[in-house]
Structure 1
Amino acid sequence: MIDVDGYRPNVGIVLLNADGQLFWARRVNRDGWQFPQGGMRTDETPLEAMYRELEEETGLAAHHVEVITATHGWLRYRLPERYVRRHQRPTCIGQKQVWFLLKLVGGEEALKLDANEKPEFDIWRWVDFWYPAAHVVNFKRDVYARALRHFAPLVEELFGVEIGTTPPRADADTPAGGPRTGRAAA
């Protein structure tokens, strides 16, 4: 489903652990890391799409998370020209996303990257709040920063920490945070 402006409706998921770190995962057979995200079906609300994508990509069900908030309206990003498939109709030039901030309420053992027959991620880790905005693929950086800026005040309030509202530069030496990582089952 592509809208009249060429954007595919999509949801993005920012998942917090009990320490206020974010779930960060590597795409299967790629070196790219990102948040869980995925397209909406025509018969889904953003919330329904978020729960479906969450389960498909992380193995987490609704009872494993608490929905804290979502962005208001759509946040958009354009695809680089090399990724636009001009021969397809309608042509998709980018994604428009509703972003959700979730908190993991159970243990991280519930994370199962191979819950779906076609896993999208093969490894995950917990990272500091602004890390993804500086390390996601370049064309998604602005939308990540906008979503995280929207969520930053709530995360500060929930965890009693000061994270600020400005992501670090991409070339800054930003530590990934947390020592824990997980893999899909072999």
Structure 2
Amino acid sequence: MTDRPPEGYRPCVGLVLFNRAGLVFVGRRADKTKREHVAPGHAWQMPQGGIDEGETPLEAARRELAEETNVTSVVLLGEAPGWLSYDLPVDIGKEAWKGRWRGQAQKWFAFRFVGAEDEIDILTPSGGHKAEFDAWRWARLDETPDLIIPFKQDVYRQVVRHFAPFAREPGETD
């Protein structure tokens, strides 16, 4: 395991935000025109984003969560080991990042949301950032691979395996 992403991959983070019932936050991408984000029937995803220069993956995870959802009331549950990566289809990579990156390598973190639901604000997120999502909902962790664009589904299946212990069946409590 390394602290550096594989060569040729954009370093990013991914976030699984669990509510108290063990469901996870998913957002519907606001910009449906970008083929690196959506495909017909696959516009939902968990928060994610790039790691800024000088930023640790955990710092990036907390920043991205706030920028995309306005959520800061969280407790860290865990981190997936290593980097989870996916390749962009070649035509999409040339279009999206002008061929600079082969794909993305992501450090994934799981957080428990401990705030009130009205803290979630996807339309006017903190820091004046442009809204990434136009809708959101709670979903079962195991259904998330079917919601994401197909070329990211394997990463989501790995995320499900890593963080399944934090998901709960309806009716379970702490």
TM-score under structure 2 length normalisation: 0.81
| C-alpha deviation, 1:92, in angstroms | 0.3
Q: Aligned match of 2:100 in 91, 95, 109?
A: 91
Question: 1:147 and 2:169 equivalent?
Answer: no
What secondary structure does 1:140 align onto?
Answer: helix
**Which residue pairs with 2:89 in the alignment?**
80
Q: 2:76 aligns with which of 67, 73, 81?
A: 67
Any conservation in 2 of the 1:11–1:99 contact (CA below 8 Å)? yes
1:34 aligns with 2:38: no
- Provide the C-alpha distance between the structure 1 equivalents of 2:141 and 2:105, rounded to a whole number of angstroms: 22
- Deviations 1:62-82 (CA, angstroms, capped at 9, x unpaired): xx1111001111011111112
The answer to whether structure 1 residue 11 and structure 2 residue 23 are counterparts is no
Letter aligned with residue 68 of structure 2: E
Counterpart secondary structure, 2:104:
strand
SS of residue paired to 2:94: coil
Partner of 2:31: helix, strand, or coil?
coil
Q: Percent identity?
A: 41
Partner residue, 2:118: 109
Greater C-alpha Rg: 1
Q: Secondary structure at the match of 1:119?
A: coil
Report what 1:56 is aligned to: 67
Distance 1:128 1:156, change over 3 A: closer
Q: Which runs of 5+ in 2 are unaligned?
A: 33-37
Alignment partners' CA distance in 2, 1:60 and 1:87 = 28
Q: Residues 16 and 111 of structure 2 are in contact (CA less than 8 Å); yes or no, is this contact kept in structure 1?
A: yes
Shift of 1:86: 7.8
Gaps of 5+ in 1: 162-186
Is the Cα contact below 8 Å between 1:6 and 1:90 reproduced in 2? no
Deviation at 1:3, TM superposition (A): 6.3
